[in-house]
Amino acid sequence: MKYSIAKGVFDIVPFEPDPKSFWRSSHLWQFVEEKARSFSTLYGFQEIRTPIFESSELFHRTIGDATDIVSKEMYTFRDKADRLLALRPEGTAGVMRSFIEKGLFQHTKRNKFFYLMSMFRYERQQLGRYRQHHQFGVEALGIASPMQDAEVIALLYSFLKELGLKNLALQIHSLGTSKSRESYKKVLKETLLPHFNELSPESQQRFQTNCLRILDSKDPKDKQILKKVPHLQEFLNTEEKEHFLELLSLLDMLQIPYVINPLLVRGLDYYDHTVFEVTTSDLGAQNSIGGGGRYDRLVEELGGPNTPAIGFGAGLERIIQTMIAQNVTLPEVPAPTIYLIPLGEEAKKRALLLTMQLRDAKIFAEIAMEEKKLKAHMRQADLIRAKYVVVLGEEEIKTERIQLKSMQTECEKNIALTDLISEIKNTI
Ligand code: HAM
């Protein structure tokens, strides 16, 4: 029986034979993940990891019953004790559950978390959209000031810049609080009602369940109708407006370019005030690289203390795909500094010992283990891009001297076997 991978998911592998799927190469993932870790540390965020599944109810309460994620895309299942669980479709809900359950707020009022976790959404597969995707996310808790919004956005923006990404658009908007949104929704519905029959079926459905989401409809006819609707910003109170304007002035000061998008509402119900998304024109339909916003009500709604919070999630698949699409200089697969080729049984043992000694000295060393002709060994050294090669045969063991060959210059240097480590260290 031959097994194949489930639909909508993918393997991350050291060597990806299909050039179109090069973004699935593990060294690219390691590179981006390491950058995410080091950037998070630089900005004072500490790692948090939560389980892959949580009670399904947690996601209903946080993301919202009427959202696509909860109503259509969740992987929900019952365990052997009949508990209703779900694979996490996003990171914020689980992180908040953990924050409250572990009482992390008792240690310090301000908490800054980051995570690199996989998420699960039953979506229609297309480029940039998968049923298991990976997010680099951060959540900053405890500070209501727009300074915190600016720090979170600056982290996402500079992280993407550091990876070499270009043509990024930071779209930003304020959703105010639920009171302002309620008055806006009333007016929005009144404005849309005369056009109800012209709306796309999806927007007609959203009219009842989640009318704000009509604003980010991609349907061309909906978009035309939406030109007539008033903007949510007109319904914000003074405090909400001030928060937003202060954030914009901080972004100006930090020289982070942005576009105010009055139609940006995001697909999760927990947001208040600031929402943002970073998009790129180089990805096709799934153009959102990362998105987030403020969710000041959520911790309290889940039974924790009143804690303002803001965060983002950025999709690693889309980041790596954009890096490739934009011809960013990519890291290479790590190559051994030295490749040892033993010829004969005695040489094999000696070469293995030597390889271990090189590794103890933190030199990336690889050893040939198969019986092959020297020519085939050299081809292998070339394939793995070894910088130096040493052939260890009877003669070399007897004389305790070896030829250290540079694969780049083809030059050979005769050295004592005992000097190998210091010689390599001097040359690299
Ligand atoms: P989200 O916008 O649903 O937000 O997802 C964040 C990012 O994950 C998206 O911008 C996109 O890059 C990536 N993504 C989402 N779904 C898929 C998919 N099916 N395939 C590939 N990539 C995908 C959240 O999840 C929020 N929890 C973000 C947040 C954190 N807000 C506050 N804190």
pLDDT in tens, 160-180: 999 999 999 999 999 999 999
Tell me the one-letter amino acid at 92: T
Average pLDDT on 213-224 reads: 92
Residue 427 is predicted with a pLDDT of 86
Best residue among 155, 157, 318 to mutate for probing ligand 1's pocket (most ligand atoms within 8 Å of CB) is: 318
- In terms of C-beta density within 10 A (0-12 exposed, 13-18 middle, 19 or more buried), how is residue 140 classed? buried
Residue 366 is predicted with a pLDDT of 98
Tell me the one-letter amino acid at 196: F
Rounded distance, CA 77 to CA 100, Å?
24
Q: The sheet that has 168-174: what strands, in order across it?
A: 46-47, 111-120, 132-141, 309-315, 288-294, 272-280, 168-174, 259-260
What is the distance in A from the centroid of ligand 1 to the CA of 314?
A: 6
**CB burial string 93-118: b at 16+ within 10 A, e below:** bbbbbbbbeeebbeeeeebbbbbbbe
Q: Tokens 């293995």 — which residue? A: 352
Best residue among 288, 307, 321 to mutate for probing ligand 1's pocket (most ligand atoms within 8 Å of CB) is: 288
Residue 216 is predicted with a pLDDT of 87
For ligand 1, atom 32: residue with the closest CA:
311
Angle at the Cα of 135 from the Cα atoms of 131 and 139, rounded to 5 degrees: 135
pLDDT digits (tens, 9 = 90+) for 294-349: 999 999 999 999 999 999 999 999 999 999 999 999 999 999 999 999 999 999 99
pLDDT digits (tens, 9 = 90+) for 357-375: 999 999 999 999 999 999 9
CA of 123, closest atom in ligand 1: 19
Q: The sheet that has 76-78: what strands, in order across it?
A: 53-55, 84-87, 76-78
What is the distance in A from the centroid of ligand 1 to the CA of 129?
A: 10
- What is the residue-averaged pLDDT of the chain? 96
